[in-house]
C-alpha cells in the first residue's frame, strides 16, 4: 500500500481558489439601492400572489403596481403581466416612464401625459390673470380624466396606465394619438385634433380589436374631475359667476348646479357640460349623448377674506355605452373664454352656459345689447363704449320717461285739491282714498300711469345688470382710474375688512350712489310732499335705501357696471330737467285738467269694481263700529 503524504502545493492551490471566490462574492454583492428594490419587489410579488390565491373575480389595478414594473425581476414582471392581463402589452411596458407631449396653435397650448393619456396642462396664450401671469385652466394636478373599464376579470383605470403618443398632421391641424395597447392592432385610443386659432379641439374615444378583451357587461365610466383656479382680483365676485352648467335630454333642456355650498344631480342623455370659471370655460361636448351623468359641485371658497387658490371643484361621471363590444365616441373639448360671440360661432347652444338672464332678459341681451356693444367696442375704448351704449338706451327710453314725469307733474298740480279732500274727510281714511282716486281718475293723473312706464324699463335694466358681469370684452380694459372694468376699481385700501363692503374703497359706486340719490330726490321729492296714500311704499325710505345699497354691495362688483349706473342716472337727471323746464308747462296741464273735470267721464269696469269694493269696506267698517257701541 502506498503511503499518503501531505501535499503543500495542493493546500496553497485550494487557499488561492478560496481567496479568489471570496473576492468575487465581495465585488458582486448588491448595493443598498438594489437591496431596497429587491425588497419592494418581493413584497409586491407576495401581495399579488396572495391576492390571486383568494381568486377574486374582479381586481382593480393601481398605479403603484404598474410602476413596480421598472424594478421587477423576471418572476415579478411575469406576475405583473398576469395582473394587468392583455394591457401589459410589451409596447406599453416599454414606455412605462411618465412623459408629456405638447400640441399648440395661435391661442392654446395643451400638454398631454402618456400616463393616463389626458391633458395635464392647458394654457391660454393671449390671456393673463389679474397678477399679470398667464392663464392656466389646467395645471399641477387640478384635472383628472379617467376611463374606468373591466377587462379579463380586472377593473382598470386609464389614469394608472401608460399610453403611447403619436403626433401627425391632418392638413393644418395637429393630431395627437394616445393609445393604450394590448397589441399593435388592439388598443384604446384618445385622439386630440387641434385646429389653428381655435379654442375648440376634436376629441375621440374609441377602441379597436378589443371585442374579446373588454367586458362590456360591466358598466364603463368616463370620470372627469376638475378644480377651477382663481383668475380675478375679487374672488368673491369671480366665485359668484363660477358654476357648472350642462345640456341634457339630448339637447332639449339646460340646467346648472347651485354655485353655493355642495350640490349634485344625475341627468340622462347629456350632450355637453361646462365647468365655468366666470370668464373662462372648460367644456366637454359629445355627438353621441351620454346615457347618464352624475354631476357634482363643491364650493372651495370657505372664507372670502382669504386668498384661495381654487374656487370650485367639479365632477362628472359619465356612463358609456359600447356598441358591438367597442367604444366609439366623437367629442369636442373647449378650453377658452366664456364669450358669447365665440360660443355663438359653434352653433351648439353654448350661450346657455352663460348667465345672460332668463326669458325676455336673455333675448334682449342676445339680440340687442351684445351686438350693439360689440359694434361700439370696435369703434371706441371699452369705457367710452359703455357710456355711448347707455346714452343710446336712455334716448330710446326717453318717451317712456316723459310719460312717467308727465304723470308726476299732474299729481303735483292736483296737490291743493287733494289737500282739500284730506281736510274735508279728516279721520276717514277710506273716504279720503276713495275721493282722491276719483279726482285723479277724472284728471287723468293716476299714480299707476306713472308706475307703468317705469315697469317697461325693468327688462332693459335687468338685462344690462346681467350683461356687464359676463361681458368678456370688458376684462382687463382700463378706463380713467379703473384698471379693469370687469373688476372693482380701487382709490383707497383699508387696513381692515368691513362685512359686505370689503377692504377697499371703489369710486365708481360712490359716484353712482350720489347720482341715484339726486335722481330719487327729483322723482320722489314731490310725491313725498303729497299725502302718503295707504298701502303705498314709504318713498323717503326708498330714497335713502337705493343709494346705500349701491354704495355697499357694488363696492366689489365690476366697475363697468357701476360706470353704467352712474352714467345712466346722470343722463336721466338731465332728461328730467329738460322735460321739466322746456317741455312740460304746469299751467297748461292745470288748465287741461279743469277742462277734463268739467266733462263727465265714464268709469270702466275695473274702476267701478274698485269703487264698489271700497264702499262695501266702508259700510262694513261702520257696521263694526255700531256693534261695538
Q: What is d(CA 336, CA 275) in angstroms, rounded to the nearest whole number?
A: 11
Backbone CA torsion sign across 70, 73, 74, 80: negative
Cα separation, 282 vs 300, whole angstroms: 18
Q: Is the alpha carbon torsion for 315, 319, 323, 325 positive or negative?
A: positive
In three-state secondary structure terms, 616 is helix
Nearest-angstrom CA–CA distance, 455 and 348 = 34
- Torsional sign, CA 378, 383, 384, 386: positive
CA distance 241 to 281: 11
Q: Where are the beta strands (DSSP E) in 82-142?
A: 100-104, 108-113, 119-128, 134-138
Q: Are strands 119-128 and 108-113 parallel, antiparallel or unpaired?
A: antiparallel
Identify the segments of the chain with pLDDT beneath 70. Answer: 1-96, 304-307, 439-440, 442-454, 456, 524-543, 584-629
CA distance 191 to 180: 11
Secondary structure percentages of the chain, helix, strand, coil, to 5: 45, 25, 25
Backbone dihedral region for residue 590 (phi beyond 0: left; psi -120 to 50: alpha; all else: beta): alpha
Centre a 10 Å sphere on the Cβ of residue 227 and count the other Cβ atoms it contains: 20
pLDDT of 70: 43
The model's pLDDT over 194-222, given as tens digits with 9 standing for 90+, comes to 999 999 999 999 999 988 888 888 899 99
Strand partners, 166: 177
- Residue tagged 346648472 (cell numbers): 256
User: What's the CA gap between 80 and 61, in Å, rounded?
Assistant: 10
CA dihedral (412, 416, 422, 425) positive or negative: negative
Sign of the C-alpha dihedral, residues 571, 576, 579, 581? negative
Which residues 6+ apart lie within 8 Å of 199 measured at CB? 107, 108, 124, 334, 335, 336, 337, 342
d(Cα 453, Cα 449) in Å, to the nearest integer? 7
Q: What is the CA radius of gyration of the chain?
A: 38
Q: Where are the beta strands (DSSP E) in 463-513?
A: 492-498, 502-505
| Cell numbers standing for residue 552 | 355697499
Helix (H) or strand (E) holding 509: helix 507-529
Region label for 55, one of left (φ > 0), alpha (ψ between -120 and 50) or beta (otherwise): left
pLDDT for residue 56: 39
Quickly list H helices, 358-506: 360-364, 370-379, 382-396, 398-413, 415-424, 429-443, 447-467
**Whose CA is closest to 436, among 454, 455, 450, 416?**
416
Q: Mapping DSSP to helix (H, G, I), strand (E, B) and coil, where does residue 245 land?
A: strand
Report domain extents, the chain: 38-88, 93-355, 362-605
Q: Tell me what the pLDDT averaged over the chain comes to.
A: 79
What's the chain's length in residues? Answer: 629
One of 3.30.750.24, 1.10.580.10, 3.50.50.60, 2.70.98.90 is the CATH number of 93-355, namely: 2.70.98.90
- pLDDT for residue 387: 94
Amino acid at each position: 500500500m502506498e503511503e499518503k503524504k501531505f501535499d503543500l502545493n495542493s493546500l496553497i492551490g485550494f487557499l488561492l481558489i478560496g481567496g479568489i471566490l471570496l473576492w468575487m462574492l465581495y465585488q458582486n454583492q448588491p448595493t443598498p439601492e438594489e437591496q431596497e428594490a429587491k425588497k419592494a419587489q418581493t413584497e409586491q410579488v407576495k401581495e399579488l400572489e396572495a391576492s390571486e390565491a383568494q381568486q377574486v373575480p374582479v381586481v382593480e389595478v393601481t398605479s403603484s403596481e404598474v410602476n413596480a414594473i421598472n424594478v421587477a425581476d423576471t418572476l415579478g414582471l411575469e406576475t405583473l403581466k398576469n395582473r394587468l392581463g392583455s394591457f401589459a402589452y410589451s409596447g406599453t411596458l416599454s414606455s412605462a416612464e411618465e412623459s408629456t407631449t405638447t400640441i399648440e396653435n395661435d391661442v392654446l397650448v395643451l400638454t398631454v401625459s402618456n400616463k393616463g393619456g389626458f391633458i395635464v396642462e392647458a394654457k391660454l396664450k393671449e390671456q393673463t390673470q389679474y397678477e399679470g401671469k398667464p392663464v392656466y385652466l389646467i395645471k399641477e394636478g387640478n384635472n383628472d380624466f379617467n376611463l374606468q373599464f373591466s377587462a379579463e376579470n380586472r377593473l382598470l383605470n386609464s389614469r394608472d396606465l401608460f399610453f403611447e403618443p403619436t403626433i401627425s398632421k391632418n392638413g393644418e391641424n395637429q393630431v395627437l394619438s394616445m393609445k393604450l395597447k394590448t397589441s399593435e392592432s388592439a388598443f384604446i385610443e384618445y385622439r386630440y385634433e387641434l385646429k389653428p386659432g381655435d379654442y375648440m379641439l376634436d376629441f375621440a374615444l374609441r377602441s379597436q380589436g378589443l371585442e374579446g378583451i373588454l367586458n362590456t357587461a360591466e358598466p364603463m365610466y368616463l370620470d372627469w374631475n376638475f378644480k377651477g383656479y382663481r383668475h380675478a382680483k375679487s374672488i368673491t365676485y369671480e366665485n359668484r359667476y363660477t358654476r357648472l352648467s350642462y345640456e341634457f335630454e339630448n339637447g332639449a333642456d339646460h340646467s346648472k348646479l347651485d354655485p353655493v355650498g355642495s350640490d349634485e344631480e344625475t341627468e340622462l342623455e347629456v350632450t355637453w357640460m361646462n365647468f365655468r370659471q366666470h370668464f373662462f370655460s372648460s367644456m366637454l361636448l359629445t355627438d353621441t349623448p351620454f346615457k347618464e351623468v352624475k354631476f357634482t359641485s363643491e364650493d372651495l371658497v370657505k372664507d372670502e377674506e382669504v386668498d384661495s387658490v381654487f374656487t370650485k371643484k367639479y365632477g362628472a361621471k359619465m356612463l358609456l355605452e359600447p356598441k358591438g363590444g367597442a367604444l366609439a365616441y366623437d367629442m369636442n373639448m373647449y378650453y377658452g373664454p366664456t364669450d358669447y360671440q365665440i360660443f355663438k360661432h359653434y352653433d351648439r347652444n353654448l350661450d346657455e352656459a352663460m348667465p345672460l338672464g332668463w326669458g325676455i332678459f336673455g333675448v334682449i341681451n342676445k339680440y340687442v345689447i351684445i351686438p350693439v356693444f360689440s359694434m361700439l367696442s370696435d369703434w371706441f375704448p371699452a369705457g367710452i363704449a359703455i357710456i355711448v351704449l347707455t346714452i343710446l338706451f336712455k334716448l330710446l327710453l326717453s318717451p317712456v320717461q316723459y310719460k312717467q314725469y308727465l304723470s308726476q307733474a299732474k299729481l303735483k298740480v292736483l296737490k291743493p285739491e287733494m289737500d282739500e279732500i284730506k281736510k274735508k274727510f279728516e279721520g276717514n281714511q277710506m273716504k279720503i282714498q276713495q275721493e282722491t282716486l276719483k279726482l285723479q281718475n277724472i284728471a287723468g293723473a293716476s299714480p299707476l300711469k306713472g308706475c307703468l312706464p317705469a315697469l317697461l324699463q325693468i327688462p332693459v335694466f335687468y338685462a344690462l345688470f346681467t350683461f356687464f358681469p359676463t361681458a368678456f370684452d370688458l376684462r382687463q380694459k382700463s378706463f380713467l382710474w379703473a384698471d379693469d372694468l370687469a373688476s372693482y376699481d380701487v382709490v383707497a385700501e383699508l387696513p381692515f375688512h368691513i362685512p359686505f363692503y370689503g377692504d377697499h374703497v371703489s369710486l365708481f359706486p360712490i359716484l353712482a350712489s350720489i347720482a341715484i340719490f339726486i335722481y330719487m330726490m327729483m322723482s320722489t321729492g314731490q310725491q313725498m310732499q303729497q299725502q302718503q296714500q295707504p298701502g303705498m311704499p314709504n318713498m323717503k325710505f326708498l330714497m335713502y335705501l337705493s343709494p346705500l345699497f349701491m354704495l355697499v354691495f357694488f363696492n366689489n362688483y365690476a366697475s363697468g357696471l357701476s360706470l353704467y349706473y352712474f352714467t345712466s342716472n346722470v343722463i336721466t337727471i338731465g332728461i328730467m330737467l329738460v322735460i321739466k323746464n322746456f317741455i312740460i308747462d304746469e299751467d297748461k296741464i292745470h288748465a287741461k285738467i279743469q277742462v277734463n273735470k268739467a266733462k263727465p267721464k265714464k268709469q270702466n269696469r275695473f274702476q267701478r269694481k274698485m269703487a264698489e269694493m271700497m264702499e262695501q269696506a266702508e259700510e262694513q267698517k261702520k257696521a263694526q263700529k255700531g256693534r261695538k257701541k
